[in-house]
Amino acid sequence: MLRSAIFCRHGETESNLGGWLAGSKDVALTERGRAQAREAAACLLAGGQLVTAVHSSPQRRALETAGILAEALGVPVIPVAGLEERRWGDLEGGAIPADLLREEVPNGESLTGFRARVTAALDGLPVPGDGGPLLIVAHAGTWPVLCRWMGVESDLLWPPNASPVTLTREGVAAQ
């Protein structure tokens, strides 16, 4: 059983700056987002957390963040299908909706389907033999699914961009 995970939401993107919903759109990091990822890597190094790989959503913004972390930590990036952000269909590219927990969206992925997809991806992750944490780079929508999967309650709606957060079976702690 996985005892701990470090979650790092991707760095800032143009969609974050503009307040629009990226969802399945493959957006890149801004220069600030890259700097945030470098700061997250420094934080992880300073914290002494030993990880063997960075498990990342295959979307560009997450992979770019994961690559910066992996280079600093000297470990590989492993893209994990299923950790992508929710597919918001017709809402993508528009303003972020007030109700992010709505079940259905026009021509998009249901909330139930999204949660099932992310849960299946998490179920497929390896449990480190040394009991150390998994490092997961993904999206705001992934956060509550990961918390539920770990059996942890969190006051965070989602962590800020590129701010590593450690989850254990006992709770959540910022790096």
Is 85 a known active-site residue?
Answer: yes
Lowest-confidence segment of 66-80, 100-114, 118-132 by average pLDDT: 118-132
Strand 134-138 relative to strand 54-56: parallel, antiparallel, unpaired?
Answer: parallel
Crossing angle (nearest 10°) for helices 60-73 and 31-47: 40
- The domain of 170 spans 4-174
| Structure-block tokens of residue 163 | 């701010």
Catalytic position from the list 10, 55, 64, 92: 10
CATH code, 133: 3.40.50.1240
Strand 165-168 relative to strand 4-9: parallel, antiparallel, unpaired?
Answer: antiparallel
Interatomic CA distance for residues 101 and 116, integer angstroms: 14
Amino acid type, 4 = S
| Structure-block tokens of residue 165 | 């957060």
Q: Which pLDDT does position 49 carry in this prediction?
A: 74
Phi/psi of residue 8, nearest 5 degrees? -130, 115
- Find the angle CA(18)-CA(68)-CA(28) to the nearest 5 degrees: 30
Residues that constitute the known binding site: 9-16, 61
Whether the pLDDT of residue 98 is over 80: the answer is yes
| Structure-block tokens of residue 142 | 């992934």
Lowest-confidence segment of 1-5, 83-87, 123-127 by average pLDDT: 1-5
Is 10 a known active-site residue?
Answer: yes
Residue 174: pLDDT band by 50, 70, 90 thresholds?
A: low
Q: Give the number of other CB atoms < 10 A from CB of residue 58.
A: 16
Residues that constitute the known binding site for substrate: 9-16, 61
Q: Which pLDDT does position 175 carry in this prediction?
A: 60
Catalytic position from the list 85, 92, 109, 139: 85
| Structure-block tokens of residue 89 | 């269909």
Q: What is the pLDDT of residues 45-95, one digit of tens each?
A: 998 878 999 999 999 999 999 999 999 999 999 999 999 999 999 999 999
Q: How many domains does the chain have?
A: 1
Q: Which pLDDT does position 81 carry in this prediction?
A: 98
Instruction: Write down the pTM of the prediction.
Output: 0.94
DSSP letter at 13? B
**Ranges of H-type helices in 48-174:** 60-73, 111-123, 142-150
Q: What is the pLDDT of residues 139-148, one digit of tens each?
A: 999 999 999 9
Residue 124: pLDDT band by 50, 70, 90 thresholds?
A: very high
